[in-house]
Structure 1
């Protein structure tokens, strides 16, 4: 059953679209009860749902009651939830237009990007080169000509030398590629490469567990990792290498720290920095104006003694903010798995 089910509907419900019903439900759930749902939505979905919500106008009480009762009944009847591509797509069918659902599902099934060439630019050069080395050199030349220059360069470096030289020569002689040829190549990439890639890609469970550990308070994190050291030392070491900690903020570029400073809650940041190493404090202060840095130092001094746990929670909040900004492409984080690589 979905929000579109007509059984027992009040007559007024018919004039509300699927997205309007979802918006009305979220409005009725409010901030406290709807927060967990909002957190699962993409930024684009949040914008669409918020836009719809702002234009709802008056909603009859019978409609609100029906949506809440139906939602409550569906949740109560579930023994458990199973999240999958298929269940997600079924859920969106009652909320978003078909073409929008198709775009969303293509994005979450494969590398992100609006066009096929955007998606390819987010595929590892070694994976892409492994696929391209079995293609005709002219096809490879067309594909690489559509990628970002930096990514094309890395893919060329991964290809066998003879093939890469052949591809470069073809790229130099290439005229405007006919639209029909590009369409055919895109379709082949979609059906043969991207579909296989999305099925073969599996997230390292250690990465997911590193995120769980990042969300723990410091004492619990250390206790858990120490216990894991005794039972599975290799896994413990892998998790540690993947965790991004408060101390890792010291590896960020000053411009990235400046974005964090502007977006962070000032009281929370003062609490986090109060327990920070001097080097990290100076990095943060260095991105502020002289007046702002003085006010921040004054705030820290006026706090007096604070609990270590409160400092750690504030530091964890700054780390979460840094990750959110990195996911949104606003800053870059140093990849803890590499000494010199940087990731968006």
Structure 2
């Protein structure tokens, strides 16, 4: 079991939920997003050899963080906007805030987040591409990418281009979503919300299977080459991980299994390999080099899947503020 200083933020949250007991932990889970439930559940399942002093430190840190937060519950929208803006900057925070607040007021959106990707695709595939683009923009990128993979092949480039072109969604568009999901959204006194955009389209494509991603980009390059290039400029690919600072790389490596890393590095360039080796202990680096040399050939699809898995971990850590991604554009998260 890692020492308390080596635990990630997710692990600390999982440890805190284990400490408060089943009843209180269940009450917290009711207010979390599906992705958050999954991440916390995995973290809680992996924790072992927990010592009492570790629990005390985590609880003490939690109490310290919330002690002066008297604004919670009072004009919470303004509080969320202020905190997110301070943390992410005004430009990046704007789209994130609108997605958070819009989803919070929508039982329909919350319900769809718990559905299987194939079921969501079946629900929306006969709708207008603009409606599909809005729905995917409101989902977390991994889920949106999975849904995209189940949609008809000819629809995908158009949908991604529409996501990239989205700037705001008007109340009448939200009312169309009401009809699709057969749920009443809060349309009264609702302002236009910022969703979609180039970075959102790039984020979804980053989470899409490599074959589907390549097909979508090829078709977009034929239909709208300028837009396709803007999206590709914002995409973060596996080899871009060599732009991580040493601390971020070390944090990422702690979250990646050895088997996944070994498979992913089959298709990596030498610069990234050296970056990874330099952020491991000498013994671990030597073992990984030896394993790479002795490893049998692997299918390209398996290598790409392993790289996608590591990219998803990197984005999760970046979303949690535990690492900083760079490359591929001005800002990626």
Q: TM-score, normalised by structure 1?
A: 0.46
Larger gyration radius, structure 1 or structure 2: 1
Larger relative CO (CA 8 A, sep 6+): 1 or 2? 2
